[in-house]
Structure 1
Amino acid sequence: MSAMAESPLTIPTYDGSLVSVRSTTSSMSRLQPATGLARRKAEPEPKWKAGELPTNYQCPSCFSYLRFPIQFEDCGHYICSSCLPDIMRVVPRCPTCQQPISKDKIVNDKNLQKEIQNLEVYCTNKEKGCTWSGTLRESQVHIESCEFVTVECPNQCGGSFERRFQSKHVDEDCAKRMIVCEFCKEKVPSENEISHLNICPEFKVPCPNQCSDKEYPRREVQNHLENECPKQEIHCPFADCGCEYLGRRPDIAVHMKENPGIHLNMAGKTITLQKKALQLYDERIKEQKNWIDLLSRKVNALEKSYGAQYIWKIDRYNERLQEARSNKKTTLFSPPFCTSRHGYRLALSICLCGDGKAKGKYVSLFICICRGDFDSLLAWPFSHRVTFTLLDQCEDVDNRRHIVYTVKPNVCKENKPFLGRPISERNASFGAQRFTDLDTMLTLEYVKEDTIFIKAEIDNEDMVAI
């Protein structure tokens, strides 16, 4: 046949067939499980108009018609593409003549495929009443719309039926079809109709006390019992005053009319008790207000003290001192710190070998105001006293001799670059140019383990709390 001359690279694939029949790899992992063959065996066999399928169109492996027929070049026999993987998986032999076959000598026959697809058939559901007939190719299109094919419920209720009954099932029988509650108009699945009616707020129910034949929407029953039902037992209006009478609504009116003195006496006692209780509540409220004021002052003090002092640890003192003497690095800056949680943002700076006229004789210590997130809420210019302390690290706490220097800012126009609200990242520094002389640094234990500690305290007595 002319199919023998076709390129093997044009072989179509079918579910479960080889991915590529002419694969150059010998690995059997390229063979897929025969899922397509199993699916074909589950499919109904076409009903041929000729009665039986001619043997030359029949697959010797699955005994059904050849679908995407594949021919072995060595013997000329045919097989389905879906049956090929099982044959190639163990010992590759032709199922017709048992001759060994090679996967490199397999081609498809498109002409034979066309012949088979043009065979006349009836619908596979002919016994159920379908009258369709046509070619095998057309049957594959027909089966998609055949009214006698068994389908499953689209609502996934678990039911199956012929397609022609689908509309009736979905509209009338399906347990999962959506229906509209006739009372509240809410859409609910049919299978949940009873449970919905048991809680539907608009479902009509009779009065639990059977006071009449009238029915009420479920949401109105409680209101009916509390305010309308003549058979509902209710407490006397003076129950909170101590009256224990319980009776039906009409009886309450009689009870009230017959016992005005008793009720008046109960009301008087209740008013007296409530007046005493109100006095106790007033006293408790005043006591709590005092506690709130006290706690508020404590919180305010804590807010002010948060960060109001800062201790700066400077290590490698001797190395840094030599750098200052050689003008390699004359000034050190501390990390910024705040006077309170939302207060001024400050930073310290120190010249270990002195600054200006004090250079070579004194240690110069300064402070500067940095731009902060809350500057718009603070009072300007900065006017709070700053105290610098060089901490003595003597182990005996009682013998420590700290060096203390206090700076009180002079609030005037000339000092605005130092004390005004920062415009740039930080203001000019101010402080103690002659904080302590260099010789003093070598006495006591101001320098210990090559480290010194500088403490800065900011007076927050008059600082505005935010």
Structure 2
Amino acid sequence: MTESPLTIPIYDGSLVSVRSTGSSMTKAQLTTGLARRKAEPEPKWKSGELPSKYQCPSCSNYLRFPVQFEDCGHYVCSSCLPDIMRVASRCPTCQVPISKDKLVNDKTLQKDIQSLEVYCTNKDKGCDWDGTLRDFPVHFETCGFISVDCLNGCGAKFEKRFMNKHQKDDCPKRTVSCEFCKTSIIFEDEIPHLNVCTEFKIPCPNQCSTEEYPRGKMQDHLENDCTKQESPCPFNECGCEYRGHRPDIEKHMKEAPGIHLNMAGKTIALQKKLLQLYEERSNEQKNWIEILARKVNGLEKNYGAQYIWKIDHYSERLQEARSNKKTTLFSPPFSTSRHGYRLALSICLCGDGKAKGKNVSLFICICRGDYDSLLTWPFSHRVTFTLLDQCEDPDNRRHITYAVKPNVCKENRPFLGRPITDRNASFGAQKFTDLDAMSTLEYIKDDTIYIKVEIDNEEMVPI
């Protein structure tokens, strides 16, 4: 909607600006479009008919926010103006061409029209309201004689004043309470509900008496109280095939105690054998479950709990370390389990710090991982480093091992706490093994060494 500097509303689709004959006016919330304007309810005029000077020639309704054409002096509604400008740009009364620059909002005429005395549109239906046109829209919104649709969506139409009665007594979609189970249901569903309601009373199907029972308790009546219900002998499970009514069952029980006792004895003996077989099978299954549980637990813990780092081109890398060209090598990151700690190894082949030139230094660091928020901090699990002997005979291998148990004191938080950067500072064995020991046995083979690291996860809290 476009508006003039003097705040007269011009509706969607119009590019018209209007000059007002009075001072600025408050913005109004108007219905857009000629079609909707024609659909608005029109009151009944106390004078009998609407005077032609107050009638819009375009929509034939009363002038609402009248706009005057300066060239010819005729009026139209503001809501009709956009269609007129878009289609013909001529006055609908005299067909004189009109210009968007020569339009005036007539406030005085608007006040005169709004002061006209009217009756309600529904006067013929019985509404006795009368007043001014200004008050008519407010009344019409609450008029009890307008047609409305049922709020429950049943499809009924009626005058608004009958809404309460329809909602309470007539609407098939109104909510009612079941008189038996007190459940809230839709009225049109009442009969299907009563067909399954557990509290609805029904007669015994065996017609044992004139008394009625709640549907939900009928089965209990048939099994325990009904004198006409045919049932099997209590020793049916033991092999007795007799069936009869409750009084007959009692008589049958008194006449055949020996037979029933013999059946019961045989059944007990059979059940004892079956129970023994069941216990044996149950114990066997229990043992298998324990074995499988241990295997699963072991597999879960071993997944990623150890890592072997292959370092090739050892001679070249050692020379680079001695010449300070590349003193430290880093392994790819690995995890202690599928969702565990993320770690990485680092090695100084020519030593680090005070061990430089004398020992091989081996370290580990904690890297930032995807599951850190689920893990326990600080890291406190024993780490075991192993330089693997590559001797072909496994019985003659002499691995070099070094274990580190982290001290979770406050000073070691930069090493063991949850990483806030890509990785923490490294910790481990500055004097892992002598440099001279590397050339003994078969720690170096095909110019390659292997470093194994194991993480003790016995005390790790499972996720």
TM-score (norm 1): 0.76
1:71 and 2:65 matched: no
Q: Counterparts of 2:407 and 2:222 in 1: how far apart (Å)?
A: 71
Q: Secondary structure at the match of 1:137?
A: coil
Preserved contact between residue 359 and residue 432 of structure 2 (Cα < 8 Å) = no
Kindly state the Cα deviation for residue 42 of structure 1 after the two structures are TM-superposed. Answer: 2.6
Preserved contact between residue 18 and residue 84 of structure 1 (Cα < 8 Å) = no
2:117 corresponds to which of 82, 107, 120: 120
Q: Which residue of 2 aligns with 1:59?
A: 56
Question: Which blocks of at least 5 consecutive residues in structure 2 are unaligned?
Answer: 19-30, 368-374, 416-426
Question: Deviations along 1:323-355, whole A, 9 cap, x unmatched?
Answer: 412335434354676888999999755332356
1:10 corresponds to which of 3, 6, 19: 6
Q: Counterparts of 2:316 and 2:322 in 1: how far apart (Å)?
A: 10
1:158 corresponds to which of 139, 155, 171: 155
Q: Counterparts of 1:74 and 1:11 in 2: how far apart (Å)?
A: 22
Q: Counterparts of 1:345 and 1:54 in 2: how far apart (Å)?
A: 89
Kindly state the Cα deviation for residue 184 of structure 1 after the two structures are TM-superposed. Answer: 2.0
Q: Counterparts of 1:341 and 1:420 in 2: how far apart (Å)?
A: 22
1:433 and 2:434 matched: yes
Q: Which residue of 2 aligns with 1:101?
A: 98
Q: Counterparts of 2:83 and 2:62 in 1: how far apart (Å)?
A: 17
Question: Which blocks of at least 5 consecutive residues in structure 1 are unaligned?
Answer: 1-6, 24-33, 393-397, 410-417, 447-451
Q: Secondary structure at the match of 2:56?
A: coil
Q: Counterparts of 2:89 and 2:283 in 1: how far apart (Å)?
A: 101
Q: Counterparts of 2:162 and 2:304 in 1: how far apart (Å)?
A: 82
Preserved contact between residue 201 and residue 214 of structure 2 (Cα < 8 Å) = yes
Stretch deviating more after TM superposition (53-62 or 349-358): 349-358
Q: Counterparts of 1:164 and 1:139 in 2: how far apart (Å)?
A: 18
Partner AA of 1:54 in structure 2: P
Aligned pair in 2 of structure 1 residues 20, 453: CA closer, same or farther (>3 Å)? farther
Aligned pair in 2 of structure 1 residues 186, 368: CA closer, same or farther (>3 Å)? closer
Preserved contact between residue 149 and residue 155 of structure 2 (Cα < 8 Å) = yes
Q: Counterparts of 1:327 and 1:240 in 2: how far apart (Å)?
A: 89
Query: Counterparts of 1:4-43 in structure 2 under 5 Å?
Result: 9-10=5-6, 12-13=8-9, 21-22=16-17, 36-43=33-40
Q: Counterparts of 1:175 and 1:316 in 2: how far apart (Å)?
A: 88
Question: Deviations along 1:100-135, whole A, 9 cap, x unmatched?
Answer: 111222121111111111122222112112222222
Preserved contact between residue 184 and residue 200 of structure 1 (Cα < 8 Å) = yes
Q: Which residue of 2 aligns with 1:252?
A: 249
Q: Counterparts of 2:117 and 2:340 in 1: how far apart (Å)?
A: 95
1:141 and 2:142 matched: no
Q: Counterparts of 2:455 and 2:121 in 1: how far apart (Å)?
A: 100
Preserved contact between residue 363 and residue 437 of structure 1 (Cα < 8 Å) = no
Question: Deviations along 1:1-49, whole A, 9 cap, x unmatched?
Answer: xxxxxx95436437x55566319xxxxxxxxxx9632223233433222
Q: Which residue of 1 aligns with 2:281?
A: 284
Preserved contact between residue 307 and residue 338 of structure 1 (Cα < 8 Å) = yes
Question: Deviations along 1:354-385, whole A, 9 cap, x unmatched?
Answer: 5689866x77264679899599997x8x8x7x
Q: Secondary structure at the match of 1:188?
A: strand
Kindly state the Cα deviation for residue 289 of structure 1 after the two structures are TM-superposed. Answer: 3.7
1:389 and 2:383 matched: no
Q: Counterparts of 2:97 and 2:340 in 1: how far apart (Å)?
A: 94
Aligned length: 423
Aligned pair in 2 of structure 1 residues 269, 128: CA closer, same or farther (>3 Å)? same
Stretch deviating more after TM superposition (253-262 or 429-438): 429-438
Q: Which residue of 2 aligns with 1:188?
A: 185
2:239 corresponds to which of 242, 245, 258: 242
Q: Which residue of 1 aligns with 2:424?
A: none
Preserved contact between residue 388 and residue 404 of structure 1 (Cα < 8 Å) = no
Aligned pair in 2 of structure 1 residues 91, 305: CA closer, same or farther (>3 Å)? closer
1:406 and 2:400 matched: yes
Preserved contact between residue 353 and residue 363 of structure 1 (Cα < 8 Å) = yes
Preserved contact between residue 203 and residue 218 of structure 1 (Cα < 8 Å) = yes
Stretch deviating more after TM superposition (263-272 or 35-44): 35-44
Q: Counterparts of 1:344 and 1:44 in 2: how far apart (Å)?
A: 75
Kindly state the Cα deviation for residue 71 of structure 1 after the two structures are TM-superposed. Answer: 0.7
Q: Counterparts of 1:117 and 1:296 in 2: how far apart (Å)?
A: 88
Query: RMSD across aligned C-alpha pairs, in angstroms?
Result: 4.2
Aligned pair in 2 of structure 1 residues 40, 259: CA closer, same or farther (>3 Å)? same
Preserved contact between residue 206 and residue 213 of structure 1 (Cα < 8 Å) = yes
Partner AA of 2:38 in structure 1: K
1:312 and 2:313 matched: no
Stretch deviating more after TM superposition (40-49 or 327-336): 327-336
Partner AA of 1:21 in structure 2: V
2:226 corresponds to which of 222, 225, 229: 229
Q: Counterparts of 2:185 and 2:455 in 1: how far apart (Å)?
A: 72
Q: Counterparts of 1:209 and 1:335 in 2: how far apart (Å)?
A: 81
Preserved contact between residue 172 and residue 186 of structure 2 (Cα < 8 Å) = yes
Query: Counterparts of 1:435-454 in structure 2 under 5 Å?
Result: 436=437, 445-446=446-447, 452-454=448-450
Stretch deviating more after TM superposition (331-340 or 52-61): 331-340
Q: Which residue of 2 aligns with 1:131?
A: 128
Kindly state the Cα deviation for residue 94 of structure 1 after the two structures are TM-superposed. Answer: 0.8
